[in-house]
Amino acid sequence: MGYGAARTVTNIPTDLLRTLVAVVDQRSFTKAAASLGVTQPAVSAQIKRLQFLLGGDLLDRSAPGVALTARGELVVSYARRLLSINDQIVNLGDGTRPELAIRIGTPSEYVASILPNTLARLRNEWPEVRFVVRTGVSEPLMRDLRNGELDLYIGLSTTAPHDARSTWADDVVWVRSEGITLVPGRPVPLISFGEPNIYRDLVTTALKAGGYDWEDVFWGPSIASLRGALSAGLGVMAIARRRAIEHGMTIWDDAPLPKLPGVHAGVYVREGGAGAIYEQLADEIVTMMRGPEIE
């Protein structure tokens, strides 16, 4: 596409840059329009205007879907940094924040009680902010964060993360109902979220190393279903000590089973977007999720 003679541009409107970033993050003009609260033709017009001001194509029209040209990659990189600084400056004003939907990804165990309570409190403080929560497996959620499809991710890993906003360690413990006993020589009955799942991976690795057999007796989609299976005496389960205490589970510290390695919880924030708001929210979540130190 031709853009005519070179022009002297001294200012790029931030709304044009925000539209470009939204198109890239959403991988769709239509989805970008929905996230920005405008029409799809308006998004197309803004992208055309931005390309006109910069004098070249930013999107590769020969590639399927939304793909950036080399120039576009550079512009998006700079745009994310500029918009983050812009949003931080805006938040230095009168304390008001623009209406915003913050997308959060997390494993199922955090959705049962702590996260809703945290978001309810923050919703009272920031009534103009909406929260969209997704649950799922760690790796796909982390990938969505990197691709700009999530704004925050709260998750677990077996090693200390290097790119989390905040991180803390926790023991992993066995939990059971008061009445259950394990029969020597019989497979260990396991209750879990199913696979893939970090706790089940830790458990099966430890049992295999210790020469134990096991059987999956119950896979549940939520912490409530797992608590029900535990209360019924179907089997034993592994979970972080903090979460076991939070959910009123019976911790089996002297279980005749292998000791389990700990995990690291982390809160991750995506680059770009309303960076200052994401970071404030992440810090609030960390404060409420960590709670007092456990002795």
Q: Is the pLDDT of residue 112 over 60?
A: no
Identify the residue with better confidence: 152 or 87.
152
The mean pLDDT of 80-84, rounded to a whole number, is: 87
Which residue in 289, 248, 245 sits closest to 265, CA to CA? 289
For residue 164, CA distances in Å to 77, 100, 197, 285 come to 20, 22, 20, 13
Predicted pLDDT at 220: 86
Could you give the CA distance from residue 140 to residue 243 in angstroms, rounded to a whole number?
23
Q: How many CA atoms lie within 13 A of 147 on its CB side?
A: 13
CB 100 within 8 A of CB 160: no
Identify the residue with better confidence: 176 or 15.
176
* Burial (Cβ within 10 Å: 0-12, 13-18, ≥19) of residue 264: middle
Name the architecture of domain 14-90: Orthogonal Bundle (1.10)
CATH classification (class only), 100-163+264-290? alpha beta
Identify the residue with better confidence: 9 or 170.
170
Strand 214-219 with 188-192, pairing:
parallel
How far, rounded to the nearest angstrom, does the alpha carbon of residue 110 sit from its chain's CA centroid? Answer: 11
Q: Is the pLDDT of residue 294 over 80?
A: no
The mean pLDDT of 201-206, rounded to a whole number, is: 93
Which residue in 179, 169, 170, 156 sits closest to 252, CA to CA? 179
Contacts of 26 (CB under 8 A, 6+ apart): 32, 35, 148, 149
The mean pLDDT of 124-144, rounded to a whole number, is: 79
Q: Is the pLDDT of residue 75 over 50?
A: yes
Name the architecture of domain 172-261: 3-Layer(aba) Sandwich (3.40)
Q: Is the pLDDT of residue 218 over 90?
A: yes
Q: Is the pLDDT of residue 86 over 90?
A: no
Q: Is the pLDDT of residue 270 over 60?
A: yes
pLDDT band at 96 (very low <50, low <70, confident <90, very high): low
pLDDT band at 252 (very low <50, low <70, confident <90, very high): very high
Q: Is the pLDDT of residue 6 over 50?
A: no
196 preceded by a cis bond (ω within 30 of 0):
yes
Q: Is the pLDDT of residue 78 over 50?
A: yes
Per-residue model confidence as pLDDT tens digits over 7-65: 566 788 888 899 999 899 888 888 888 888 778 888 888 899 898 888 889 988 887 78
Query: Where do the domains of the chain lie?
Result: 14-90, 100-163+264-290, 172-261
Q: Do domains 100-163+264-290 and 172-261 have the same CATH topology?
A: yes
Q: State pTM to two decimals.
A: 0.59
Question: From its phi and psi, is residue 274 left (phi > 0), alpha (psi between -120 and 50) or beta?
Answer: beta
Could you give the CA distance from residue 19 to residue 41 in angstroms, rounded to a whole number?
12
CB 160 within 8 A of CB 167: yes
pLDDT band at 5 (very low <50, low <70, confident <90, very high): very low
